[in-house]
Structure 1
């Protein structure tokens, strides 16, 4: 998901504060947790969207839910609520993580395979494919997909590198029919 221009501004401000105070890694981890919580917790989404709750009550709920996060992160979340931008929390986190990845030369990659990859295999993919996309390394998330039949499929940003048996069979079928 790509955040809006407004979400990007909030993320950039938080990113600059994190760099200034040398807490980029800490805020990155905390914002990953915030992003997951907001995206995957339907109850939290309902609370944030509820017109019946006051801004103060929403801020109190967020302060309780994210009691262990850095004050900069919590203040950003509260600011988003004050400005009626609760729906942008996940986008701000996403944009912050993108800025962090750019700063570190890292790209997020999803590797689809028939079986779970070992750490050595993940490192090998990271070192061999990172240079192809102009990055220092890849942060790999392995997704087991039994429909592949064999091989792997890698998604890095908007690029998809399909070396799966299913992908090869699909390409062969299109070639034969076309």
Structure 2
């Protein structure tokens, strides 16, 4: 699921088109909010992933499904039209890549530093604030923080800022110990 959010060449082209259109129409922030909602829905809903990725669901039906989601969520008209175009072109499965590409373009234009924190359990408000403060000190500006829960890391944290990953997860430490023991 989270691995779906890698930039691909096709997703990058669609992201650029959506970004340019949203920028020209003054809808950047609205479209960005819509895409953040779609990203959360993608991660939470197996039905949405199935709708977008299934080869047996026609592009027309994918378009209808995405349009219904956009209507229910009261998405901006630009986002709604774009989702229809994406489905019509048989690219609904590229939605995560488009979202990632759009986020990168927005961050570059707005000078936003995005940080993703992965933890084994949900973070408390105090923990989130502490991480935010530490990142602000390290980066020299406020990062836009997103948190994700991944029980497979067992404990600790993974923090990704741009292309840099700080991995202090228990799973990684155990893997490193296992590797060191095998070499001994």
> Scaled by the length of structure 2, what TM-score is found?
0.70
In the alignment, the residues of structure 1 paired with residue 129 and residue 116 of structure 2 have an alpha-carbon distance, to the nearest angstrom, of 12
Match of 1:112 among 91, 108, 119: 119
Q: Give the C-alpha shift of residue 8 in structure 1.
A: 0.7
For structure 1, list consecutive stretches of 5 or more residues without a partner in the other structure. none
Equivalent positions of 1:38-53 (< 5 A) are 38-48=42-52, 49-51=54-56, 53=58
Secondary structure of residue in 2 paired with 1:160: strand
C-alpha change, 1:124 and 1:22, in structure 2 (3 Å) is: farther
Q: Is the 8 A contact 1:107 1:135 kept in 2?
A: no
In the alignment, the residues of structure 2 paired with residue 133 and residue 81 of structure 1 have an alpha-carbon distance, to the nearest angstrom, of 39
1:35 aligns with 2:6: no
Q: Give the C-alpha shift of residue 116 in structure 1.
A: 5.2
In the alignment, the residues of structure 2 paired with residue 133 and residue 95 of structure 1 have an alpha-carbon distance, to the nearest angstrom, of 22
In the alignment, the residues of structure 2 paired with residue 168 and residue 47 of structure 1 have an alpha-carbon distance, to the nearest angstrom, of 38
Q: Over residues 83-136 of structure 1, what are the superposed CA-to-partner deviations in whole Å (9 max), with x where a residue is unaligned? A: 1112112211221122223333221221537x7544454334224325646764
Q: Over residues 49-85 of structure 1, what are the superposed CA-to-partner deviations in whole Å (9 max), with x where a residue is unaligned? A: 2435352x33222211210111111111111122111
1:78 aligns with 2:84: yes
In the alignment, the residues of structure 2 paired with residue 12 and residue 171 of structure 1 have an alpha-carbon distance, to the nearest angstrom, of 40
Q: Is the 8 A contact 1:106 1:137 kept in 2?
A: yes
* Residue correspondences, number: 173
Secondary structure of residue in 2 paired with 1:27: helix
In the alignment, the residues of structure 1 paired with residue 64 and residue 33 of structure 2 have an alpha-carbon distance, to the nearest angstrom, of 22
Q: Give the C-alpha shift of residue 139 in structure 1.
A: 0.8
Q: Which residue of 2 aligns with 1:20?
A: 24
Q: Which residue of 1 aligns with 2:158?
A: 154
Pick the structure with greater CA Rg. Answer: 1
For structure 2, list consecutive stretches of 5 or more residues without a partner in the other structure. none
Q: Over residues 1-55 of structure 1, what are the superposed CA-to-partner deviations in whole Å (9 max), with x where a residue is unaligned? A: 3221121111112112223333322211211222333454333333342435352
In the alignment, the residues of structure 2 paired with residue 69 and residue 30 of structure 1 have an alpha-carbon distance, to the nearest angstrom, of 6
Match of 2:6 among 2, 5, 20: 2
Over the residues paired in the alignment, what is the CA RMSD in angstroms?
Answer: 3.4
In the alignment, the residues of structure 2 paired with residue 41 and residue 144 of structure 1 have an alpha-carbon distance, to the nearest angstrom, of 16
C-alpha change, 1:81 and 1:117, in structure 2 (3 Å) is: closer
